[in-house]
């Protein structure tokens, strides 16, 4: 029997016989390692312990110390859950599990009745029993026919259908533990006893193969860790995350209100409005630099313009419609600015000399989103985007994309936001235009993103109907991804509106059109920004910038005088003249995330100074300074939009 060489992380090389498994190698390194082993890793890919090694390679043994170990544990707990469900509900059919086990696991089941919370408790209890049975996971490679026979006999019709989706020529592997068997690529732990702590999260409906037209299966989510402590830590992290959920902070900090009488349509309260306006003003301040012109176009338009744009057919059910005042045709509240911006372009004869024409608008947009999709400020029916449409010559598109990303970088840096994921979304099933044009446009966009210095992932089939799109995604506090900034090419609108310009050759040409937003929807941006900052906004965006805290009633006059001076300098100031102790006022201002507090007592009043306490830098007693100097310092920081 021939031998192969296995390179280890510490630089050593082991000689093992060809066909030895990952576990064999682990045992050869040490019995302790073999006991702790959860999986192997070859060239960055996780492999199952029972995988045989046919050629020399570099191998790493993954244990609980490796973050990937948790994924293996959760994946294995997933099988234990399906086993438990089958034991308690023998009629249940098992569909597929989850592919991403970084945080949780899941399985979909076809059952007559949805699972109740009591069912989940019973399933969780059953899972514990199964783990105690200490069954080894067994990996089998079988033929397609064999697999089909096994699952047909078990009555697992969904599984048989899934089997048909596996391309020919690919190994079909099964994993067993005890009597439970499932079609699975692995990897799995050696023995169920390695699953130290499990927890079911919830049950939810999910359409078979993710398609609304299919029947709804019942999904169970759960998570698992090597130890109870890790599970506890995980739950504590989640709890902390919920503390900074924008909906919670929105109430605590009086930023916005979501009313049952206006689902998905936020009320901005005075403090939220400061943040909203701050962001809008910031974007507007950049318009001269990046060459945008602001317009304002009608909220309500006749159906005709939406028929021209294509929105009437594509999104009729998702718009708000009304009867016209007379017997004229129906009118719709705009869901997007693009039709109107096309109309603006079409006014008068355009020359190449005017291009690129960049039209920006902050109008509120209304989309009649399905009730189940609404979520806080993240997904709303009433919103505004920092929207703009760029009309340019086709050969200017790449420059425009580059310019967009330059602006985007400036904005996100100024706001202290990082962690953006940039993705190209490609042609969807329903689209307008020529597929060949799409291919070219997609390629150009991707190149431009990479030229701007971003890694560009791909989301296949996710683009809008009119053209490919680049989306900048950001994760919320619960780990959900939301698109903020976006730039997309429009292959449809210029043609539909018959847009053209006179080129330098004297001929008429159709302009290229780009849709773009840096912040995306202001609502969604606020939701993520509130969570990102935990409501602790930079000075220039803080609803209350300075809290004046007089120590005793006799300081109230001086407090008001200082406040008036600050307010006259454009600073948002609040005087806490309640008959409360200083500590109480400080605590209150801390909880309201007021960035600067001025405690005023005899010392300050006599000297005519303030002693600012800067919350952000944890500076409790700064040097006393003259009020005028303080105002000057603050207005400077605000004007520079210091983070």
Partner RNA sequence: GCCGACGUAGCUCAGCUGGUAGAGCAACGCAUUCGUAAUGCGUAGGUCGCCGGUUCGACUCCGGCCGUCGGCUCCA
Q: How far is the CB of 307 from RNA (least distance, A)?
A: 13
203, β-bridge pairs: 220
When the beta carbons of 34 and 333 are compared against RNA, the nearer one is 333
Residue 228 a catalytic site member: no
C-alpha–C-alpha distance, residues 342 and 397, integer Å: 17
- The answer to whether 185 is a known catalytic residue is no
Q: Which is nearer to RNA, 270 or 372 (CB)?
A: 372
Catalytic residue among 469, 532, 585, 615: 469
Distance separating alpha carbons of residues 80 and 379, to the nearest angstrom: 36
- Three-state DSSP at 216 gives strand
Judged by beta carbon, residue 180 or residue 345, the one nearer RNA is: 345
Give residues with Cβ within 8 angstroms of 314, minimum separation 6: 430, 465
Residue 28 beta carbon to RNA: minimum distance, rounded to whole angstroms = 42
Q: Which of 98, 104, 188, 367 is catalytic?
A: 367
CB of residue 89 to RNA, shortest distance in Å: 15
- Chain-centroid distance, C-alpha 590: 29
Nearer to RNA, 37 or 464 (CB): 464
Quick one: 278 or 520, whose CB is closer to RNA?
Answer: 520
Active site residue 576: no
Sheet containing strand 3-7, strands side by side: 13-17, 3-7, 57-58
Separation between Cα atoms, residue 306 and residue 335, nearest integer Å: 10
Q: How far is the CB of 471 from RNA (least distance, A)?
A: 8
Rg (CA), the chain: 31
What's the min distance (Å) between Cβ of 212 and RNA?
3
| β-strand pairing of 331-333 with 421-425 | unpaired
H or E stretch including 241?
Answer: helix 228-243
Task: Please give the torsion angle defined by the CA atoms of residues 545, 551, 552 and 553, in that order, rounded to the nearest 10 degrees.
Answer: -10
Least distance from RNA to the Cβ atom of residue 260, Å: 4
Distances (CA, A) of 214 to 112, 120, 206, 207, 210: 16, 25, 10, 6, 8
Closer of 39 and 562 to RNA (Cβ): 562
* Residue 104 contacts residue 222 (beta carbons within 8 Å): yes
Of 31 and 552, which CB lies nearer to RNA in the complex structure? 552
Select which of 182, 387, 473, 490 is catalytic.
387
Give the nearest distance from C-beta 324 to RNA in angstroms: 19
Q: How far is CA 25 from the centre of its chain?
A: 40
Annotate 486-515 with b (16+ C-beta within 10 A) or e (fewer). bbbbbbbbbebbebbbeeeeeeebebbbbb
Minimum distance of RNA from residue 389's CB (angstroms): 10
Distances (CA, A) of 243 to 51, 254, 256, 492, 537: 44, 15, 17, 44, 16
Tell me the pairing of strands 350-351 and 501-502. parallel
CA distance 237 to 229: 12
Q: To 10 degrees, the CA torsion angle through 155, 161, 163, 168?
A: 140
E runs forming strands in 197-237: 197-207, 216-225
Q: How many Å apart are CA 82 and CA 156, to the nearest integer?
A: 12
Q: Closest separation between CB of residue 341 and RNA, Å?
A: 11
Q: Which letter does DSSP use for residue 51 in this model?
A: P
430, 71, 11: which is closest to 226 by C-alpha? Answer: 71
Task: Report in angstroms how near the CB of residue 360 gets to RNA at its nearest.
Answer: 15
Return the half-sphere exposure (C-beta side, CA atoms, 13 A cut-off) of residue 142: 21
**Shortest gap between Cβ of 319 and RNA (angstroms)?**
5
161 is catalytic: no
Q: Of 187 and 332, which CB lies nearer to RNA in the complex structure? A: 332
**Residue closer to RNA (CB basis): 216 or 344:** 216
Let me know if 101 is a catalytic residue: no
d(CA 619, CA 540): 19
Query: Is 515 annotated as catalytic?
Result: yes
Residue 83 is among the residues annotated as catalytic for this protein: no
Tell me which DSSP letter residue 92 carries: P
Nearer to RNA, 136 or 588 (CB): 588
The Cα-based distances of 410 to 214, 282, 385, 523, 538 in angstroms read 45, 11, 18, 20, 16
Nearer to RNA, 187 or 550 (CB): 550
Tokens 């999986």 sit on residue = 39
Name which of 328, 82, 312 is nearest 219 in CA terms.
82
Provide the CA 430 distance to its chain's centre, in angstroms.
25
Q: Pick the catalytic residue from 389, 403, 593, 615.
A: 389
SS3 268: strand
Annotated catalytic residues are 338, 367, 385, 387, 389, 469, 515
């Amino acid at each position: 029997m021939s031998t192969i060489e296995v390179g280890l992380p510490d630089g050593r090389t082991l000689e093992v016989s060809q066909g030895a498994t990952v576990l064999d190698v682990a045992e050869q390194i040490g019995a302790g390692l073999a006991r702790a082993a959860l999986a192997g890793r070859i060239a960055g890919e996780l492999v199952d312990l029972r995988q045989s090694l046919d050629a020399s390679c570099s191998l790493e043994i993954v244990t609980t110390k490796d973050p990937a170990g948790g994924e293996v544990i959760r994946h294995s707990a997933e099988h234990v859950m399906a086993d438990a469900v089958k034991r308690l509900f023998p009629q249940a059919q098992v569909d597929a599990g989850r592919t991403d086990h970084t945080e949780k696991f899941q399985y979909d089941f076809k059952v007559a009745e949805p699972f109740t919370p009591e069912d989940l408790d019973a399933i969780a209890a059953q899972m514990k029993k199964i783990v105690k049975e200490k069954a080894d996971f067994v990996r089998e490679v079988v033929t397609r026919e064999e697999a089909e026979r096994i699952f047909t006999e078990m009555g697992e019709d969904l599984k048989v259908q899934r089997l048909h989706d596996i391309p020919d020529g690919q190994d079909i592997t099964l994993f067993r533990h005890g009597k439970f068997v499932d079609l699975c690529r692995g990897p799995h732990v050696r023995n169920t006893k390695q699953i130290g702590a499990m927890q079911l999260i919830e049950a939810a409906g999910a359409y078979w193969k993710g398609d609304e037209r299919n029947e709804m299966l019942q999904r169970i989510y759960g998570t698992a860790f090597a130890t109870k402590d890790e599970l506890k830590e995980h739950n504590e992290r989640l709890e902390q995350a919920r503390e900074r959920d924008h909906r919670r902070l929105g109430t605590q900090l009086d930023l916005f209100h979501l009313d049952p009488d206006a689902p998905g349509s936020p009320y901005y309260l005075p403090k939220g409005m400061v943040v909203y306006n701050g962001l809008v003003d910031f974007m507007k301040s950049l318009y001269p630099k990046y060459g945008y012109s602001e317009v304002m176009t009608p909220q309500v338009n006749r159906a005709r313009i939406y028929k021209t744009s294509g929105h009437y057919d594509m999104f009729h059910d998702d718009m708000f419609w009304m009867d016209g005042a007379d017997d004229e045709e129906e009118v719709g509240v705009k869901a997007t600015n693009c039709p109107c911006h096309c109309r603006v372009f079409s006014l008068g004869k355009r020359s190449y000399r005017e291009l690129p024409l960049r039209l920006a608008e902050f109008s509120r947009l209304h989309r009649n989103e399905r009730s189940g999709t609404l979520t806080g400020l993240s997904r709303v029916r009433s919103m505004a985007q920092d929207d703009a449409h760029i009309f340019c010559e086709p050969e200017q598109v790449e420059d425009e994309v580059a310019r967009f990303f330059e602006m985007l970088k400036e904005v996100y840096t100024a706001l202290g936001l990082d962690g953006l994921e940039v993705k190209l979304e490609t042609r969807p099933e329903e689209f307008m235009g020529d597929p060949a044009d799409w291919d070219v446009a997609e390629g150009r966009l991707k190149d431009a993103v990479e030229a701007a210095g971003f890694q560009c992932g791909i989301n296949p089939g996710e683009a809008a109907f009119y053209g490919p799109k680049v989306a900048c995604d950001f994760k919320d506090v619960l780990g959900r991804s939301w698109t903020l900034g976006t730039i997309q090419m429009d292959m449809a609108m210029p043609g539909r509106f018959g847009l053209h310009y006179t080129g330098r050759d004297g001929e008429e040409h159709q302009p290229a059109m780009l849709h773009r937003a840096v912040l995306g929807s202001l609502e969604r941006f606020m939701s993520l920004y509130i969570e990102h900052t935990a409501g602790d906004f930079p000075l220039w965006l803080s609803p209350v910038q300075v809290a004046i805290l007089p120590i005793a009633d006799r300081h109230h006059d001086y407090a008001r005088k200082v406040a008036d001076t600050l307010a006259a300098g454009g600073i948002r100031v609040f005087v806490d003249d309640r008959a409360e102790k200083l500590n109480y006022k400080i605590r209150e201002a801390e909880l309201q995330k007021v960035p600067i507090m001025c405690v005023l007592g005899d010392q300050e009043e006599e000297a005519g100074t303030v002693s600012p306490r800067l919350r952000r830098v944890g500076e409790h007693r700064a040097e006393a300074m003259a009020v005028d100097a303080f105002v000057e310092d603050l207005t400077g920081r605000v004007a520079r939009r210091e983070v």
